[in-house]
Amino acid sequence: MSLHVVIGFGPAGAATARLLAEEGHAVRVVTTSGRGPEPGIEHVALDATDGARLIEVAQGATAIHSCAAPPYHRWASDWPPLASSVCAAAEATGATLVMLGNLYGYGPVDGLLTEELPLAATGPKGRVRAAVWEQARQLHEQGRIKAVEVRASDFFGPGVTDGGHLAARVVPRLLRGKPVSALGDPDAPHSWSYLPDVARALVEVAGAERAWGRAWHVPTGPALSTREMVDLLAAQAETGPVAVRRLSPVVLGIAAVFSPLLRELREIRYQFDRPFVADSRAYEAAFSVRATPVEEQVKATVEWWRGRLAAAG
């Protein structure tokens, strides 16, 4: 049994921590506010930008899973100190740094997204995510840390509530048979990362030395448009067909005046205005995790949301 430190307890951090605990590892979760205990998981209240304290908490760890993220509108200011603290903890403890990344760093791309593409984003969020990985990669190449990044597309699945494009603003509505709104072109092919697959990849690469020193795309199923995903979810829920309406730029602009999240989404509109397809063949050729079949993804997502909504009354 080894100790794994998980920073952040959002959807990905929680799924990763619970998977590690199920596999028999000791798990220590770091969040700003802390949480009550749960089987196999120790929760520690700590600001992860406090490098000295984070080093103390991570002593003896085999791996540090960096799954936290600042609020969208504070990425430019808050990511650099968080990344520096996490890298310092990995260097001081010798733990492998497993970073949860995304696809923003590539910027707009024509064709498939592969790990060999340059990190050429021009928007602030894409640039900061690219810089976070470059910092860790350079330290790895210098022999100061062991680092790997796992890049996911838009999350969906059990546990994904706020922030996901197939989450709180979509699934509860389609479960009631109501129309849903889509950002960008609802018929553009899009890669969706199923949350349990994200967690399984983060756990797998932590113990695979051949994975370290580079980035990998989470095993992801065939690209499906927002409309196709809504159709599948509605069919599973037996509430379909559900209308999918494109959110007009005018409405988005007005709503962005009042919503920091929507203001920030304007930078990544390109991901939904055109095909946005991630290639995960490199990961699949090297490791054992595979994308969960989409039918299972959809079934589990509908069941989870139904349970959540029933519990909430």
Residue 239 has pLDDT above 70, yes or no: yes
| pLDDT tens, position by position, 122-149 | 999 999 999 999 999 999 999 999 999 9
pTM: 0.95
pLDDT above 70 for 262 = no
**pLDDT tens-digit readout, 31-75:** 999 988 899 999 999 999 999 999 999 999 999 999 999 988 899
Q: Is the previous residue joined to 70 through a cis bond, with omega within 30 degrees of 0?
A: no
Q: Per-residue pLDDT averaged across 252-277, rounded?
A: 77
Half-sphere exposure of 299 (CA within 13 A, CB side): 5
Q: What DSSP character marks residue 191? A: -
pLDDT band, residue 252 (cuts 50/70/90): low
Cβ neighbors of 26 (< 8 A, separation 6 or more) are: 1, 2, 3, 4, 40, 42
pLDDT of residue 73: 85
What residues contact residue 154 under an 8 Å CB cut-off, 6+ apart? 164, 165, 166, 190, 191, 192, 193, 271
Confidence at residue 251, expressed as pLDDT on a 0 to 100 scale: 66
Q: Which two tokens stand for residue 155?
A: 């999350």
pLDDT score recorded for residue 169: 86
Q: Note the pLDDT tens digit of each residue in 167-207.
A: 888 999 999 999 998 888 999 999 999 999 999 999 999 99
Would you kindly state where each structural domain of the chain is located, as residue ranges? 3-160+192-220+277-292
Q: What is the pLDDT of residue 258?
A: 64
Mean pLDDT of 16-30: 98
Return mean pLDDT, the chain.
94
Token duo for residue 197: 């697959």
Residue 1: predicted pLDDT: 75
pLDDT of 161: 92
What pLDDT sits at residue 250? Answer: 65
Residue with tokens 């929760």: 43
Question: Of the CATH numbers 3.30.420.40, 3.90.950.20, 3.40.50.720, 3.20.20.20, which one belongs to the domain with range 3-160+192-220+277-292?
Answer: 3.40.50.720
